[in-house]
A = this chain, B = another copy of it.
Amino acid sequence: MAELLNLHDAVARLVRDGDTVAMEGFTHLIPHAAGHEIIRQGRRDLTLVRLTPDVLYDQMIGMDCARKLVFSWGGNPGVGSLHRFRDAVENGWPGPLEIEEHSHAGLTNRYVAGASGLPFAVLRGYAGTSLAEPGRTANLAWVDCPFTGERLAAVAALRPDVAVIHAQQADRDGAVQLWGIAGVQKEAVLAARRSLVTVEEIVDRLEPRPGSVVLPAWALTAVAVVPGGARPSYAAGYYDRDNDFYQAWEPVSRDRDRFLEWMQAHVLEAVPA
């Protein structure tokens, strides 16, 4: 049953050094505030998992939270590179970053298998790519269809220690509702051993909405109220994406010192939500 905690306590209790942490959000509802709290609490050696690591993971990598990144597309959407990610991969700064990379379809199905309680999932994918070269991609294998003999890709289930997502609303019992582009958030939560959902607000009743995903309180570990917790990404119905921020991140993140100054001023010295 979901416990209602403040963000500091939720992160302190749920996220531990060395954990595999999935912070999902497909452009929409990216849990920036929770990521910043993880940075402030100085977590180390995390395996960060996300289909689309963008500015938030760039920040966490640059602040040396991560030992490893499991991902399928690492860029600043609509702008260009993730310079902290590139600096880690290309130059090992601030430390070496192990990577495990998949296609979106492959990593998505790793979550699906995890959410389904299965050890693996099957897909048509990877065949003929360099990702499929022997020894290149962890958690990728091949299975033969027992009916047709066709060879298909198999990906191992992903079971994060903790999944962190942001949603629009929770009710007083800790059930959560999100709407708009829902990405792979439900799967990340259901695949994970523990889960934290930050929300814009608590409401008396989750009014049914078109296209919404509802997660019952008994399927979650903790809920924390963090208004604006997805900024600079967006929360449908609450605020728009701050596209200027994503543009502005480009020059900030190009330079190690400028990056560190920015993080000091905007994250480390920020008042926790």
Contact = CB atoms under 8 A, between A and B. Distances in A.
How many chain copies? 2
A206 to B, nearest CB: 10
A124 B120 contact: no
Contacts of A210: 208-210, 212
Nearest to A211: B208
Given A122-B120, A211-B208, A146 B141 contact: yes
Interface in A137-156: 139, 141-143, 145-148, 150, 152, 154, 156
Given A143-B146, A146-B142, A118 B209 contact: no
- Residue with the greatest number of chain B CB neighbours at <10 A, chosen from A122, A139, A209: A122
Contacts of A12: none
Interface in A92-146: 117-124, 139, 141-143, 145-146
Given A139-B147, A142-B146, 10 more contacts: A118-B122, A118-B123, A118-B152, A119-B152, A120-B122, A120-B146, A121-B122, A147-B154, A210-B210, A210-B212
Interface of A: 117-124, 139, 141-143, 145-148, 150, 152, 154, 156, 208-212
